[in-house]
Amino acid sequence: MKQKLAILGGDPAMPEGIERARWPRYSQAELDELCRVLREEQLGGCDAPQIAALEQEWAQRMDIPYCCAVGAGSDALHMALWAANVGPGDEVLVPAYTFLSGALTVLHQGAVPVFVDVHPDSCNMDPARIERHITSRTKAILPVHLSGLPADMDEINAIARQHHLAVIEDAAHAPGATYKGRFVGSLGDAAAFSINAMKNLPAGEAGIFATRHRHFLERVDGLWLRVRFHKPREEQKYPLATLGHNYRCSVVSAALARGQLARIDQLNGERQSLCERLTRQIEDLPGVIPPRVPPDRSHAYHLYRVRFDPRAAGLDLQPSEFRAKVVAALGAEGVLCRSWMNWTIPSLPLFTRPEEFEATHPWRRPWPADRVYDPRDYPEATRVVEETSLVMEAPTAASRQIIDFMAEGFRKVFSQIQEVAKLQLPEELLDGGAANLDEIRRWLGAALPVQPT
Q: Which residues are catalytic?
A: 199
Closest CA to 437 of 357, 328, 362, 339: 328
Q: For residue 346, what is the DSSP state? A: G
User: Distance of CA 257 to CAs 61, 76, 81, 263, 318, Å?
Assistant: 12, 16, 24, 10, 44
The amino acid at 305: R
Contact 92, 81 (CB under 8 A): yes
> In the chain, how many H helices and how many E strands?
15, 13
Q: What backbone phi and psi angles, to 5 degrees, belong to 71?
A: -75, -25
Q: Is the peptide bond before 120 cis (omega within 30 degrees of 0)?
A: no
Question: CA 51, CA 213: separation in Å to the nearest integer?
Answer: 21
Rounded to 10 deg, the angle between the 319-332 and 400-415 helix axes is: 130
Q: What is the largest CA-CA distance in the chain?
A: 79
Cα–Cα distances (Å) from 266 to 28, 59, 262, 300, in that order, read 16, 19, 9, 11
3-state class (DSSP) for residue 104: helix
Which residues share a beta bridge with 92? 113, 140
Rounded (10°) angle between helices 251-262 and 28-40: 150
From the centroid of its chain, how far is CA 135? Answer: 28
Determine the Cα–Cα distance for residues 45 and 249; give it in Å rounded to an integer. 9
